Amino acid sequence: MKYLILLLLLTTGCSVGMALSGSDDPNLGAFRVGSTRGEVELQLGSPIDSVTNPNGNRTDIYEYERGNKPSAGRAVAHGVLDILTLGLWEIIGTPVEAVQGEKRRLTIVYSPSDKVIAINTAAPIKKAESETEQYNSEDGY
């Protein structure tokens, strides 16, 4: 019986951990044209790419995720299903958690004094595209 409990504890947890480790949606209403770069980065973090234009303006690209808030309810449900199925739920639960949320990009143009002068949204990024881009950028391809 001890070994069965140990096996259950070792094979469960991926979907539970993923459900608990989501991130809150950024508050896109917290900045607008005229806001400072610091106000933008407080919500979106550091840009994934930045280019200084010949006219002195700076264009930054930010990537953020929406719809993947941490959820104790989802975590409990995954945990219960793990126990009831002796860990087999992870075959379904982990991929379900992996597709939670939607990655998006936002391009912001700053003046030379780091004030927002333009905000451009992009279409949502598919998970497979994002992972491929990250893989290629890490390898230098």
* Domain map (residue ranges) of the chain: 2-139
What tens digit of pLDDT does each residue of 1-21 get? 665 555 545 555 587 777 777
Average per-residue pLDDT for the chain: 78
What H or E segment, with its residue span, contains residue 119?
strand 116-121
Q: In what order do the strands lie in the sheet with 58-66?
A: 49-52, 58-66, 102-110, 116-121
pLDDT band at residue 139 under the 50/70/90 scheme: very low
Percent of the chain with pLDDT over 70: 77
Distance CA 97, CA 94 (A): 5
State the architecture of 2-139 in CATH terms. Answer: 2-Layer Sandwich (3.30)
pLDDT by residue (tens digit) across 84-124? 888 888 888 878 777 777 888 999 999 999 999 999 876 55
